[in-house]
């Protein structure tokens, strides 16, 4: 990705931050592992999802964290529907 993208957190209530591939990667790996996916497969899925999300981010100066989560979940769903479900549920479990 040739430029940096700002992530607007929770409708602007929290300070924006730069998009970090490693952070997205870690959250996708975590969702995969939580449904007992083998570690190697979780890493591979996370790489694929991060590549897809970065492709979507091209040309955008800023996106909301909510949109980022939706797009990541959509791509994760094609690889692992159960992990995508847990990824989507993270902020709406309680």
Partner 1 sequence: MDILTSLLVVAFAALIHASFQLSVSVLTMLSGHAISAKRSHATLLRLTSSFIAGTKVMTLLLVSFFAIVLFDVFGEQPPQIVWATVCGILVGLGVAVWLFYYRREKGTTLWIPRSFAAHLTERSKATKSGAEAFSLGLTSVLSELLFIVGPLLVSALVLISLPSMWQLIGLAIYTVVSTFSSLIVWGLVGSGHSLSRIQKWRETNKHFLQFAAGSGLIILGLYVYVNQIVSVASGSL
Stated as kind and residue range, the H or E segment containing 16 is strand 14-18
> Cβ 38 to partner 1, closest distance in Å?
11
In the list 5, 33, 44, 71, the residue contacting partner 1 (rule: CB under 8 A) is 33
Which residues touch 61 (CB under 8 Å, ≥6 apart)? 3, 5, 6
| Residues 3-32 close enough to bind partner 1 by CB under 8 A | 29-32
What does the block give as tokens for 26? 């870690």
What does the block give as tokens for 7? 């992530």
Residue 94 touches partner 1, criterion: CB under 8 A: yes
Binding interface with partner 1 (CB under 8 A): 29-36, 39, 82-83, 85-86, 88-89, 91-94
């Amino acid at each position: 990705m040739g430029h940096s993208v700002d992530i607007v957190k929770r409708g602007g209530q929290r300070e924006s931050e730069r998009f970090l591939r490693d952070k997205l990667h870690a959250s996708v790996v975590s969702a995969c592992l939580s449904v007992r996916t083998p570690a190697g497969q979780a890493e591979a899925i996370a790489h694929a999802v991060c590549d897809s999300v970065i492709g979507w981010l091209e040309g955008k100066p800023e996106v909301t964290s909510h949109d980022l989560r939706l797009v990541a979940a959509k791509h994760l769903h094609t690889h692992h529907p159960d992990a995508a479900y847990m990824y989507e549920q993270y902020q709406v479990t309680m």
